[in-house]
């Protein structure tokens, strides 16, 4: 009997009901008597990527059993002499042994939670660290076009799955960052999109430290950005800061709501390398337990560039590489145990990768040099356990590297994107993995026995993606146009509506902070074109922004883009008035020029139209100035308006309006 079939007959770990602070933790929930995963539950799944920086020596990680003699001939001082087959139920040609320091990975394999993918690479592997990492992160290859991609494959995936990001995010469908990266102060190329800010957020520390850090940074954003290269770069930095501001509080909240149920390893032995990977995975588990629905997590473990002292000369089972593999295995074991104890193991799949493998033969310095292929580990409750592929052929070597590989790394990622995350074929085209749709691997379990007599199918029908991400309203257009009477006409149309309760028009001075100004009831359900329009009778002066919020009957909502209107040309009094300083703190001086005596009034409004200050302002011919105290106002954006009455003007004519940012 195949070992993977034997595993399916075993009861999984962690099926005992678990209580935390007297509250039951959901472990497989109500799905015992129904299909485990429906289309609606795709949004709960996450993919955790473990990047092994430096180029992992895959040959000492997964040691060939049948070709062990040939292996030792090529690695007489760094080879592992005493090995035990990981799985004796499969053909001997396919059998491998894990490094002795990976016993905890063996435990996960014996529990049916690991698939080892052998011989992974791409044609003409690039052996440069930087170029190699870029290729794996961007989903490229060794061709000129494949090497020069400017966006990452998981950035393209997230861009397709969460359209218009970051506009309209966070929202009720996605409150959390769509991608998170740990162990770095800068965001990986993998999260970059074709344009705009990356689809991920980098946290070098835990979310609480991140929130405390960003809370003390920055001030008011510039009111105008020049249309220059400098301005473009400035806007990019502003967008990054805004994204951090949006999610800092949310991450802090769910981190504090979450918990960990197991103890994670801190280091290898008493004086070995600190297990930084364990800390990153511990944070991921805690965020997930607190309700985080981030789709892609990227964590990393460094130090795999083992040119020298890869092993201890006295014992090749010890040394730098041994410590790294122990830290990888122990961190993964603790993470999987934690997810199981928390009742969320069915939501998470983890996969390892490195920019390249090492050469077949040792280099004379108790180490190995840059090579080509290496294994990948796919770990999780939903994995189809076993070994995919066979050990590399040690009789087919050229220039100390294997002459062929078995699987393109994009086959692994394509499989996980579609079978695990439910991405459609159209989505895979957006990720630029369309060439691998027909080359997927058997990595996600379609026949898992949950130990209770129920068969669970973890593989997602790719049509689920389209069903799960279809918006309840098919928006045909959304327009805003300035009118001659200084109003703004907003109109939009829908081609279909499903359970549509209502629309709201929201307005902003900076495309960041929005306030609702109008509500329009929806049609509920409709399959024909319906047109809507709203007039903003008191628009903001200068450039302002509008967005459309659509809400279902159940309260979930979706944003449909941001559009801009410029009223500067239609405001004849704008040049006559100014407020200084702007941004202001405790007070502002309002200055206005006039050719005659006017009975004036200064009014300050919040963005929702509430008048918060009103004071008289006698205006004489010439330049007039009045100072207004702002100490009682909360920080935010306001509109200052000067109106006046005179024989030549009439009653209550608007003389000028301007935006004012109060910032303390």
In this prediction, residue 112 has a pLDDT band, given cuts at 50, 70 and 90, of very high
Kindly state the percentage of the chain with pLDDT values over 70.
81
Q: How many alpha carbons lie under 13 Å from residue 298 in its C-beta half-sphere?
A: 32
pLDDT of residue 214: 40
Strands 577-580 and 587-594 turn out to be antiparallel
Instruction: Mean pLDDT check: name the lowest of 455-469, 489-503, 521-535, 645-659.
Output: 455-469
Q: Which residue has the higher pLDDT, 111 or 624?
A: 111
pLDDT mean over 461-475: 57
What are 615's two structure tokens?
């004071």
Q: State phi, psi for 92 to the nearest 5 degrees.
A: -60, -30
Q: To the nearest whole number, what is the mean pLDDT of the chain?
A: 82
pLDDT tens-digit map of 291-348: 899 999 999 999 999 999 999 988 999 999 999 999 999 999 999 999 999 999 999 9
pLDDT tens-digit map of 36-79: 334 555 778 999 999 999 999 999 999 999 999 999 999 999 99
549-to-124, 230, 280, 493, 554 alpha-carbon distances in Å: 49, 33, 36, 13, 14
Distance (Å, whole) CA 330 – CA 232: 45
pLDDT at 89 over 80: yes
Please work out, in degrees rounded to the nearest 5, the angle formed at the alpha carbon of residue 221 by the alpha carbons of 612 and 166: 105
What are 219's two structure tokens?
């001030």
Q: Which residues contact 248 (CB under 8 A, 6 or more apart)?
A: 207, 210, 211, 214, 215
pLDDT at 219 over 50: no
pLDDT tens-digit map of 237-268: 555 555 556 787 788 888 988 999 999 998 87
Paired strand residues for 383: 444
Instruction: Mean pLDDT check: name the lowest of 223-232, 563-572, 578-587.
Output: 223-232
410: three-class secondary structure by DSSP: helix
pLDDT at 220 over 50: no
Round to the nearest angstrom and report the end-to-end CA distance of the chain.
71
Element (H, E) at 656: strand 650-662
């Amino acid at each position: 009997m195949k070992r993977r079939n034997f595993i399916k007959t075993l009861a999984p770990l962690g099926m005992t009901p678990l209580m935390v602070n007297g509250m039951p933790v959901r472990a497989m929930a109500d799905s015992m008597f129904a299909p485990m995963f429906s289309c609606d539950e795709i949004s709960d799944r996450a993919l955790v990527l473990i990047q092994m920086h430096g180029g992992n020596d895959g040959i000492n990680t997964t040691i060939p059993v049948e070709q062990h003699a040939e292996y030792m001939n090529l690695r007489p001082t760094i080879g592992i002499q005493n090995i035990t087959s990981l799985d004796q139920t499969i053909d001997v040609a396919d059998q491998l042994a894990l490094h002795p320091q990976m016993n905890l990975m063996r435990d996960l394999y014996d529990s049916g939670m690991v698939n080892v993918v052998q011989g992974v690479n791409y044609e003409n592997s690039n052996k440069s660290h930087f170029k190699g990492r870029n290729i794996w992160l961007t989903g490229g290859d060794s061709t000129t076009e494949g090497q020069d991609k400017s966006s990452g494959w998981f950035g393209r995936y997230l861009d397709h799955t969460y359209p218009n990001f970051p506009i309209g995010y966070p929202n009720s469908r996605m409150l959390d960052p769509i991608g998170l990266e740990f162990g770095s102060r800068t965001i990986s190329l993998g999260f970059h999109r074709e344009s705009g800010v990356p689809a991920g957020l980098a946290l070098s520390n835990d979310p609480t430290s991140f929130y405390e850090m960003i809370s003390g940074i920055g001030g008011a954003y510039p009111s105008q950005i020049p249309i220059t290269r400098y301005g473009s770069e400035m806007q990019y930095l502003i967008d990054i800061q805004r994204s951090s501001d949006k999610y800092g509080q949310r991450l802090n909240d769910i981190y504090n709501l979450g918990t960990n149920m197991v103890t994670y390893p801190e280091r290898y032995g008493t004086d070995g390398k600190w297990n930084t990977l364990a800390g990153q995975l511990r944070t991921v588990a805690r965020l997930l337990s607190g309700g985080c629905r981030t789709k892609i997590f990227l964590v990393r473990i460094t130090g795999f560039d083992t040119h020298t002292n890869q092993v201890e000369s006295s014992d090749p089972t010890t040394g730098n590489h041994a410590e790294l593999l122990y830290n990888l295995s122990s961190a993964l074991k603790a993470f999987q145990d934690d997810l199981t104890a928390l009742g969320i193991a069915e939501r998470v799949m983890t996969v390892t990768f490195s920019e390249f493998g090492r050469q077949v033969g040792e280099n004379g310095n108790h180490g190995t040099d840059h090579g080509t292929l290496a294994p990948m580990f796919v770990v999780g409750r939903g994995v189809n356990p076993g070994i995919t592929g066979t050990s590399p052929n040690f009789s087919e070597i050229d220039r100390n590297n294997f002459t062929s590989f078995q699987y393109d790394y994009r086959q692994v990622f394509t499989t996980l994107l579609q079978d695990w995350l439910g991405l459609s074929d159209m989505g895979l085209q957006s990720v630029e993995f369309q060439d691998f749709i027909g080359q997927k691997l058997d990595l996600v379990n379609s026949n898992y026995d949950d130990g209770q007599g129920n068969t669970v199918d973890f593989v997602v029908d790719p049509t689920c993606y389209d069903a799960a991400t279809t918006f309840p309203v098919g928006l045909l257009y959304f327009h805003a146009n300035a009118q001659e009477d200084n109003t703004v006409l907003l109109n939009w149309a829908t081609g279909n509506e499903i359970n549509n309760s209502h629309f709201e028009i929201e307005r902003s001075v900076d495309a960041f902070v929005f306030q609702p100004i109008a509500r329009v009831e929806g049609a509920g359900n409709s399959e024909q074109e319906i047109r809507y329009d709203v007039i903003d009778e008191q628009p903001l002066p200068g450039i302002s922004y509008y967005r459309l919020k659509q809400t279902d009957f159940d309260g979930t909502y979706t944003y449909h883009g941001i559009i801009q209107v410029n009223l500067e040309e239609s405001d004849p009094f704008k040049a006559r008035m100014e407020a200084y300083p702007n941004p202001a703190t405790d007070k502002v001086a309002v200055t206005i020029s006039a050719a005659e005596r006017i009975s004036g009034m200064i009014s300050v409004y919040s963005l929702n139209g509430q008048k918060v200050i009103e004071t008289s302002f006698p205006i004489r011919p010439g330049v007039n100035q009045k100072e207004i105290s702002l100490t009682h106002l909360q920080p935010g954006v306001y509109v200052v308006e000067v109106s006046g009455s005179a024989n030549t003007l009439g009653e209550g004519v608007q003389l000028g309006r301007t935006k004012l940012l109060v910032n303390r």
